[in-house]
């Protein structure tokens, strides 16, 4: 983890993105991790306000060193450069497991309330990406699909990803503590909901692709419009860009990469848990615009990203958080459901 930074007496948040009614702040998390109770409360308030207004924020000084993130990106790229038959030998099996390799074209992200999600036209334009899914290690009957039996690089890959998984797990717990404080709950309210680390580390590779693919099919994207399923997502971007969030006006706004930050967005289960006081904003990944595009190369280059999907423990029963319903507030909008049942339902509809 990063060392203590000098304490700052300024506001922890500033604006990173502002367009078409979508405002995404960049929040300094160091005062929450290392500051006074007043510092922690200021950060917590900023985090919750961002999730209520846009569902997105950038977090800086979050405790995961840039050198570690860079190393994980390198290990991910080497994995995806393996021969196809090696990757296919580690293939994703079931929604319950949600572990292993997913080849390019196998997945089509959809929206559960979109009547067009199952249309032949959309199914004919699968997402242009391949992924490697890594879950909590040591779950009976649900083993991760490691390449450690292949070679030394495979062993290094496993070590790197297990270490990074645990760093992200720790950050997830801290962000949930900030959410708790920002919602006027005890700081450790969510600890018993997330201590098992039933999360999912997803390595993403968007392979190079011909411009003609996008010219021939205007619906083609790198990853289709969707909302995330769990509580929050930690997203580490490369410098290529392409992530866009849907604005209140219905347009898509670039969530431009900012060095040494992690993008965090709220997911559907957290929105449900908060009785919709927190927003789960739809987003997608497109091929970013290029200068002098028509005269440029005929092939767009590769893109990599790393997503850490955070969930409550799979056996936890999720119902409206205290303080989000009753008295003069709205009624509880959703029946309770276990986190595991909810996530399997959503994953089953994806692949």
Radius of gyration of the chain (CA): 20
**pTM of the predicted structure, to 2 decimals:** 0.89
Q: Under 8 Å CB-to-CB from 316, ≥6 apart: which residues? A: 193, 338, 339
In the chain, pLDDT over 90 holds for what percent of residues? 70
DSSP state of 228: -
Positive or negative, the CA dihedral 69, 70, 75, 79 is positive
Mean pLDDT of the chain: 88
Q: What is the mean predicted confidence (pLDDT) over 187-197?
A: 97
Note the helical H segments in 62-117: 66-80, 84-88
CB of 78 closer than 8 Å to CB of 16: no
Nearest to 290 by CA among 214, 195, 206, 226: 214
DSSP state of 314: T
SS3 content of the chain, % helix, strand, coil (to 5): 30, 20, 50
pLDDT in tens, 206-264: 988 777 766 666 555 667 888 999 999 999 999 988 899 999 999 999 999 999 999 99
> In angstroms, what CA-CA distances link 34 with 26, 172, 307?
18, 16, 25
List the single range of 41-50, 177-186, 298-307 with lowest mean pLDDT. Answer: 298-307
Element (H, E) at 280: none
In angstroms, the CA 177 to CA 156 distance is: 32
């Amino acid at each position: 983890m990063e060392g203590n930074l000098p304490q700052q007496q300024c506001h922890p948040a500033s604006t990173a993105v502002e367009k078409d009614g979508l405002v995404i702040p960049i929040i300094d998390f160091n005062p929450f991790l290392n500051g006074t109770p007043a510092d922690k409360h200021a950060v917590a308030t900023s985090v919750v306000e961002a999730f209520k207004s846009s569902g997105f924020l950038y977090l800086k000084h979050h405790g995961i060193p840039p050198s570690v993130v860079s190393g994980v990106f390198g290990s991910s790229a080497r994995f995806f450069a393996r021969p196809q038959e090696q990757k296919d030998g580690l293939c994703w099996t079931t929604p319950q497991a949600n572990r292993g390799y997913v080849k390019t074209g196998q997945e089509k992200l959809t929206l559960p309330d979109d009547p067009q999600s199952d249309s032949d036209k959309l199914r004919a334009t699968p997402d242009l990406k391949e992924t490697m899914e890594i879950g909590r290690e040591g779950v009976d009957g649900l083993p991760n699909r490691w390449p450690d039996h292949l070679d030394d690089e495979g062993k290094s890959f496993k070590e790197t990803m297990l270490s990074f998984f645990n760093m992200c797990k720790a950050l997830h717990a801290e962000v949930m503590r900030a959410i708790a404080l920002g919602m006027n709950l005890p700081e450790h309210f969510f600890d018993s909901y997330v201590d098992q680390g039933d999360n999912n580390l997803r390595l993403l590779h968007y392979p190079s692709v011909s411009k003609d693919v996008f010219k021939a099919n205007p619906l083609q994207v790198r990853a289709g419009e969707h909302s995330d399923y769990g509580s929050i997502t930690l997203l580490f971007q490369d410098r290529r860009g392409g992530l866009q969030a849907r604005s209140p006006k219905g347009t898509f706004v670039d969530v431009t990469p900012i060095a040494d930050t992690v993008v965090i967005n709220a997911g559907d289960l957290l929105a449900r848990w908060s009785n919709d006081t927190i927003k789960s904003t739809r987003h997608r990944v497109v091929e970013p615009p290029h200068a002098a595009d028509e005269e440029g190369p005929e092939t767009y280059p590769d893109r990599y990203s790393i997503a850490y999907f955070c969930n409550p423990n799979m056996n936890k029963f999720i119902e409206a958080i205290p303080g989000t319903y009753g008295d003069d507030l709205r009624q509880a909008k959703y029946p309770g459901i276990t986190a595991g049942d909810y996530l399997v339902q959503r994953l089953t509809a994806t692949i």
